[in-house]
Structure formats: C-alpha cells, structure tokens
Structure 1
Amino acid sequence: MITQAGRERRVQDMGHGDHLCLAFADDAEQRRVVTAYLSDGLVSGERVMYFADQCAPQEVLGWLSAAGVDPGPALATGQLQVTTADESYLAAGSFDADAMVGALRQEMWDSLAAGYAGFRISGEMGWALREVPGADRLAEYETKVNAVFAGQRASAVCQYDARRFDAAGLETFDRCHPGVVQLEELYADGVLRLVPAFRAGQRSLRVVGTVDYRTTDALREALESASAWSGDVWVDMSELEFIDLAGVRALAHAADRLEAGRRLHVVDLAPLLCQVISVVGWDDIPSLSVSARGVEA
C-alpha cells in the first residue's frame, strides 16, 4: 500500500511522466512551486504551458521575472505559453473532458516533434467551481490525463486552492493523481522532518522521525505555525518513530492554547503512546483529540 507520504515529490525532483496534484493554502506556496516548475522547464529546454484562473497571466510572468528568468524570449519563440482557463479548459464555452485530453496529447506530441526536450504544463483548477457545463467530469479528466503523461517526456502539475475547494473535493482530486507535490518543510534535519501536507483533504502537519530533547523546540514552533491555519489543526503521526514525554506535552499545550471551538487532532499515533496520553490525563483536554494508528479519527 502506498501511503500519502510515499506519493509526495518535491517539485525540483519531478521527472518525465509525473502528473502531480498541488494542494495549497497560501499564495506564497503556490508561487514557490509554480515558479520553480516553470523555470526548471524553460532552463531544461522543454516547452511550457500555463493555464491561469485566479492569477492573471501577467502575474505569473512576473513570478518568473522576479526569479531571474526573463520570459520574453521563450514567449517570442513559443517555448512558453501562458493563457487563461477560459482560453484552454473552457475554450468551447464548457468543459469537454475528452477533447481536453486529446488536446493535451496533441500539444505534447507537437512539442516533442518540434525538438523540445520535453513538455510540461500547469493549470489552476478553480474554474471548476464556477458550475460551468462539464465541470462535473473534472475527476474523470484528471484520471485520463495519467495515461497521457505516463512513460512520456512530459509532466503536469494541477493546482487546487484549499481555500476554495472543500476537503471532500480536495481528497477526490488528490486521489485522481499518481502523486502530489510536497510542500515546503517547516523543519528538517537528520532526526526529524515537519512537513505541511493535506490528509483526507484537511490541511495537516506531518511528523516524520524522532521527537526528543533535540527536536522538541522544533515541534513546538511548527505547532505554533499550524495553529495559525484556519479551522482545526491536524497532526499526522503515521511516520513518527519516537516521541518523548516533552514532545507529547508540547502537543497537549498546543491543543490547550487553541481558541474555543477549535481542536487539535493527533492521528495515526502508536497505540502505546495513546495509552500514555490517557494515563497522564491529557486526553481530558477538550480541544485535544487522539486516535491510534489505523483508526479513523
């Protein structure tokens, strides 16, 4: 079974054949991923296409310029094309999943035939929330696109804004992709990694490795950052190897500091550690929810 973490790929590590989902909850994260993805493609001699929706095309071009990549020459030669969802996904006034799959396949073949090193594309998918005809086939389209890119010198990043799509929608579209873009780590060393992610469509903090005297402060700071997110806080412990009492205390204190009505959900925690929390009495904190590994929260 492939875990969600096992499906993650840093954008700079993407390769040919990848079709990844990018769920993001802030503009800076979107800009970081998109800029890296587009600029890497241009530098590598690939043909690059971008379909904007919430962002204006000129804004996307500005991201490249700010990163030191002049988009002018690539636009002039056709290596780079930045257009809108209305001129691409919805060019016919509605969304035709099969026609769009065919168009992508043709763009890929034309790019390779023109001598480009590869083909890459990224699109903002918020247009699907406008209730345009055919938008209900978006999941079907995403699944069919997998076959277009698999084994080819091509890749794609599909962008879903978690501030606009609900958790159920995010999970659905996430699962249509073979992989997801890993968000920027809040902390990483040889002992512990703290990674923002999405679990079942919910924004979460994934804890990977060991929490002990060396890394408790890092966990505490990451929990503080996660507490600034909207809604409940989800902490994914599926890849936790060890956590000491100070680390567990940091979780309890983070929950206790949340505003009324919010909860901190610690999920996929080892059963023994769930028992420790119960014995100490921290499970009595109203804002703390703890579920054992393999048990639905």
Structure 2
Amino acid sequence: MSASGTRHRAVEHLGHGDHLCLAFSDDAEQRRVVTAYLLGGLARDERVMYFADRSTPGQVLSWIREAGTDPAPALNSGQLTVTTADDSYLATGTFDADAMVATLHQEVTDALAAGFTGFRVSGEMGWSLRNLPGAERLGEYETKATDVFAGHPASAICQYDARRFDAAALDDFDRRHTGTLEQQPLHASASLRLVPSWRNGRQALRVVGDVDYHCAPALAGALQTAAGWPGDITVDMDALEFIDLAGVRALVRAAEQLPAGRRLHVVDLDPMLSEVIHVVGWDEIPALTVTAREVLA
C-alpha cells in the first residue's frame, strides 16, 4: 500500500495529533462519524468541544443520547461543551484565524490542567459560506490549526458538507489537514474493503486490498452504488494490492453499463496491471479510462 493510504483514517482509529477533514454528502454519515468521535472522547476522559452550525446543539446532544449515553453528567462537569459557530469561530462577529488558533491552544492547555487526558474538538464549517469578514482566511486557519494538535494529546475533525462546498474548495481544505476521515465501507472483509471516499473534491470509491473472483461480486455491487453518485465514477486503486481477471471484468461491465456521457475512471492502478489492461484492449472502451500510479524513483 502506498504511503498516501495512511491519510485515510477510520474514526475508531483516530488518535492524538490528528487534524482530520470530514467531507460528507449524507446526514446519516455525518451523524455516525460525529457521534463516534464525541463518545470516544468522553470514554477516554478527554475534554470534548463541538461547534454546531447547520445542526443545532440540541440535535448534537440527541445523537449522543440516542446512542445510549446521557450527556448531562459530562455537560455538568464541564467535560463536554456543545455550542454554535456564532459563539466560537465568530464570537467577535468576524472570523479571526490567529485568535481562533490561540483559543484552541489555550483549550488544550486548560483541558490538561483540569486533569483531562486530552482534548478533542469538532466543528461544522458551513458558517464560512456566509460571506462574513475574515471567512476568506479559513484555509490559512486550517493550515495553522495543525500545529495545535501535532505532538499534543489533542485531535480535531473539521466537517465540510459537500452539498454546499464546491469540489475545488473541498480539495483545498482536505489538503490542509493531516488526513481524511474514512466513510463507512460498502464492503469489508479480511482481504478487501470498498470505501466511499473523496478525491480532488469529488466522490470516489477506494479499493483497499485484494480483488479476486470470490469478492468480484462485492466490487460489482459497490460500483453499482457509485453509479448513483453524480458525475463520473472514480475508482481509486492507490491501496489495491491485487486484482484478477474477474475484478477487471467487473470494472469493464460497470463502465459499459454507464449512460452516454458518463465515464468510469480507474486511477492510481499498479503500472503492470495497467499495462495488462492496455494489452488486452479493455482501455479502448469509450466509457473507461485507466491511469497508472506514478512510481517514485
């Protein structure tokens, strides 16, 4: 697996020092990740903060409650704070990137001084689309915020609703984080995971592990799901270890079944496998493009 695969992290494996980007286009997926993140912090006796925007603080607390945990004790003890973007990022009426970074540094220090094992924070970033003074510095803030968490018992998840941010903005914000939150896999086994993801600000299907004739039907099913996403289909093969003829045929069939004008892009495929597809002639199918992974010298 290439080193870039380490950028994708499941919320259950998130640790201290992480400053991760969550791009989502489904409310249920946002809720799943956020709930797991908040509950994980409470269970580890970390100080937990949440800055809501499109959601309300009451909704966020209901996610915790419906997951089987009463948030009242953590709220009363000061372990948990759920507030709004207006009372955090925009507390002065404008967005001051440097002041917000300084505030987070102080929150980490205060959490440890209070006896908590760490600090974690998550914020909904849709407020930046309101054309408020200072919002244009959000990218700068995301870059600087990484230093708040690096090397410290602290972590963050910044949430970007892909239905509201364009692909260029999503890609830029993602690159300013140390990693990306992995979505719920469409298929997960000992040898293969098929995971909805984001690449260049657009939805993609990540193939992680081995595809053989046993799990080719799972790949076909995941490709069918991806066909329901808008635009072309991107299949990210950066973390692919092996694919046999049955797996390649699943890709070819998925491309052939696309309506006119749509394409299936297989990207970062192992150069040797890419050459095999070229020799066989499958890359001559109009709806299928295959791009080999760059080999570093």
Instruction: Give TM-score scaled by structure 2 length.
Output: 0.93
In structure 2, what is the equivalent of residue 26 of structure 1?
26
In structure 2, what is the equivalent of residue 289 of structure 1?
289
In structure 2, what is the equivalent of residue 219 of structure 1?
219
What residue identity is the alignment partner of 1:200? N
Q: Distance in 1 between matches of 2:174 and 2:245?
A: 35
Q: Distance in 2 between matches of 1:155 and 1:270?
A: 34
Q: Distance in 2 between matches of 1:207 and 1:30?
A: 22
State the shift of 1:279 in Å.
Answer: 4.1
Q: Any stretches of 5+ residues in structure 1 without a counterpart?
A: none
Q: Deviations over 1:28-84 (max 9, x none)?
A: 111111000101111222111100111111111111011001111212222211111
In structure 2, what is the equivalent of residue 62 of structure 1?
62
SS of corresponding position for 2:164 = coil
State the shift of 1:177 in Å.
Answer: 1.2
Deviates more, 1:12-21 or 1:80-89: 12-21
8 Å CA contact 2:20–2:181 kept in 1: the answer is: yes
8 Å CA contact 2:5–2:238 kept in 1: the answer is: no
In structure 2, what is the equivalent of residue 155 of structure 1?
155
Q: Deviations over 1:108-135 (max 9, x none)?
A: 2222212222211000111112221111
Map 1:31-180; keep pairs closer than 5 Å.
31-180=31-180
2:243 maps to 1:243: yes
In structure 2, what is the equivalent of residue 15 of structure 1?
15
In structure 1, what is the equivalent of residue 205 of structure 2?
205
Q: Distance in 1 between matches of 2:242 and 2:104?
A: 46
Deviates more, 1:276-285 or 1:142-151: 276-285
SS of corresponding position for 1:100 = helix
Q: Distance in 1 between matches of 2:274 and 2:146?
A: 39
Instruction: Give TM-score scaled by structure 1 length.
Output: 0.93
Q: Percent identity?
A: 64
Q: Distance in 2 between matches of 1:268 and 1:117?
A: 40
Q: Any stretches of 5+ residues in structure 2 without a counterpart?
A: none
SS of corresponding position for 1:209 = strand
What residue identity is the alignment partner of 1:175? R
In structure 2, what is the equivalent of residue 5 of structure 1?
5
SS of corresponding position for 1:225 = helix
State the shift of 1:274 in Å.
Answer: 3.0
Q: Distance in 1 between matches of 2:94 and 2:179?
A: 27
Q: Distance in 1 between matches of 2:262 and 2:131?
A: 31
In structure 2, what is the equivalent of residue 261 of structure 1?
261
Deviates more, 1:281-290 or 1:201-210: 281-290
SS of corresponding position for 1:238 = coil
